[in-house]
Chain A
């Protein structure tokens, strides 16, 4: 198999990100469209890692806010998952801590809605972790982002009330793990049928649970991730797997080679998938210092 020219590919990914930056310093999901919170955070992290200086947080400093939430889409409810991710992004810079105290308070306060238990969906409905938008149930991705954010946040700003929220978030993720390990969007069994996990959500939930690595569910999910990533392939799936394995200290060699090959093959589609481009650059960049996702 031909060895990918890793430096050239990373340089191309970096150039693609810089070229797609909006005039206001934000990034859209698709080149030429409106800047959004999630791709902006990924782009800032990726470029900051590539440059060795950490993310440039200017774009987030000026981000539009409402009640201390960062607003992704005017008129739409605040997206709690991407606010959690924005918190993780800010914490990758020492001075970013000053930006996020109000956001941390918001995240600590936020709570998924409580619904009655059901005999057709197997889950512990008493666990109110984090939802995508206020008033809805708790799901895996927002819980993982908010949990990771709070776990990083309390390291320098101890907040007793955060400990309870962290505990609920962990319990929810353990409860929502699929039968053989791993996570999907957040349902494990519906009408008696076991649902299967997805690679991106598994990688993300594992990152949020990296300090609970001795839990059998975490070990099982790591094994499931390494198995599934061989067949469930996309730039974001491979990139998140690399980042996840890196924070767990597990070699990522084969997945890295696969991602280099995939990004090169998909080059004509980069403009339509800036999230994948930014994730791939972050994952493939050797970087210096601590990983933004490591606790």
Chain B
């Protein structure tokens, strides 16, 4: 069967990607710029066959996603997340758990990073659930200086208080790892050994709009697993391979077992760094990261089918169809709102 390119790829014609002499390069828009970065890979990617082995993936017939109320960061997140684990039927006894929060930058009074209270609450909940080991790790894509980020965000103090180990994924040992899908047209990527050693990976993003990808949630969060000391800051190879393609290949390869999304205070507008904080008041959880991200997209007024990487992932990784997502905790309607997005992303609101 011929591979049908994802939504973003069908919108790209070769002429759009290669500006001609009559078109000023300075006129390239966001879409054009992203497309140009991805052009060589997308062109090569238009080949026979799916960019994944369908025998290795099973899309669940239904997926459960829980939205659990958290009005502020003062709530007991260990209790809240323990409840989520129970409602989702997650068993962690004896597991080696790796928590991957989202840390990018630090600026006071912003909502850039997963809140330390949510991260540490999740770690405590995993321990209570019988996890053999809980490790927290992140590899920020802009700032190399993890010591500064950990101190400035307050995560360092909270982790030390609970005696939880932190791993800097940018500087960990790495192993060349075969990619489980090839939307990027790549076969392998160096990934951190500490992540690969884990037998239960939890993606813990901050819910944000993202000016390139549309949405930062549990799948986009996996960019932080790619080691900067190998690929640099920013992780430009992922841009070159195509951001949606890279998100899908990373998700297919890392296969996070659970997503825990910090949507207590999210970010709207020009995310993932320069946007505005926006109180939402919940933590989202689910074992299907595609379904979790699709649900969070709906909450903030975006159509998941319009987000390239969700559209691609729905082919083989998870569920985006609302009719196949079982809601736990609170209904989407309780939190449904309309986030501001940059003008170039307004199309993400449109129904398909």
Q: Taking beta carbons and an 8 Å cutoff, which residues of A are in contact with B?
A: 28-30, 33-34, 36, 38, 72-77, 79, 81, 113, 115-121, 125, 131-133, 135-137, 139, 141-142, 184-187, 190-191, 193, 195-196, 198-201, 232-237, 266, 269, 272-273, 275-276
Contacts and interface: CB of A to CB of B under 8 A. Distances in A.
A131 B168 contact: no
16 contacts: A33-B172, A34-B173, A36-B171, A118-B29, A131-B236, A133-B231, A136-B236, A142-B232, A190-B211, A191-B274, A193-B274, A232-B145, A232-B152, A233-B151, A236-B145, A237-B148
A19 B217 CA distance: 41
B52 interface: no
B322 interface: no
B174 A73 contact: yes
B59 to A, nearest CB: 32
Given A184-B142, A234-B148, A237-B148, 5 more contacts: A73-B190, A79-B230, A136-B236, A185-B143, A191-B270
A36 B188 contact: no
Contacts of A186: 234
A184 B147 CA distance: 16
A119 B344 CA distance: 12
B147 A141 contact: no
Given A30-B172, A33-B173, A116-B33, A234 B236 contact: no
A200 B233 CA distance: 13
A237 B145 contact: yes
Contact of B148 (A29, A233, A272): A233
Interface in B143-200: 143-145, 147-148, 151-152, 166, 168, 171-174, 176, 188, 190
A29 B147 contact: no
Greatest chain B CB density within 10 A among A33, A116, A201, A236 is at A116
A72 B230 CA distance: 8
Given A34-B173, A120-B33, A185 B233 contact: yes
Nearest to A75: B176
B213 interface: no
Contacts of A29: 168, 171-172, 229
B232 A133 contact: yes
B232 A139 contact: yes
A262 B168 CA distance: 19
Contacts of B265: none
A191 B30 CA distance: 9
Contacts of B29: 118-120
Interface stretch (B19-27, B116-124, B301-309, B326-334): B19-27
Nearest to B28: A118
A136 B172 contact: no
Contacts of A236: 144-145, 147
A276 to B, nearest CB: 6
A227 to B, nearest CB: 16
Which are the 4 A-B pairs with shortest beta-carbon distances? A132-B232, A234-B147, A29-B171, A75-B176
A73 B189 CA distance: 12
Contact of A75 (B33, B148, B190, B211): B190
Interface of B: 19, 25-30, 32-33, 36-37, 107, 142-145, 147-148, 151-152, 166, 168, 171-174, 176, 188, 190, 211, 229-234, 236-237, 240, 270, 273-274, 342, 344
Greatest chain B CB density within 10 A among A33, A73, A74, A184 is at A73
A118 B237 CA distance: 18
A137 B236 contact: yes
Given A116-B33, A191-B342, A133 B147 contact: no
Given A29-B168, A118-B33, A132-B231, A232 B148 contact: yes
A187 B274 CA distance: 13
Nearest to B166: A272
Contacts of A115: 36-37
Contacts of B27: 119
A132 B233 contact: yes
A213 B339 CA distance: 46
Contacts of A113: 240
A132 B141 CA distance: 13
A243 to B, nearest CB: 15
B26 A117 contact: yes
Given A73-B190, A193-B270, A198 B145 contact: yes
Contacts of B173: 28, 33-34
Nearest to B343: A191
Contacts of B240: 113, 135-136
Nearest to B176: A75
A189 to B, nearest CB: 10
Nearest to B142: A185
Given A116-B33, A116-B36, A191-B342, A185 B147 contact: no
Nearest to B232: A132
Contacts of A269: 147
A73 to B, nearest CB: 6
Contact of A136 (B28, B145, B152, B237): B237
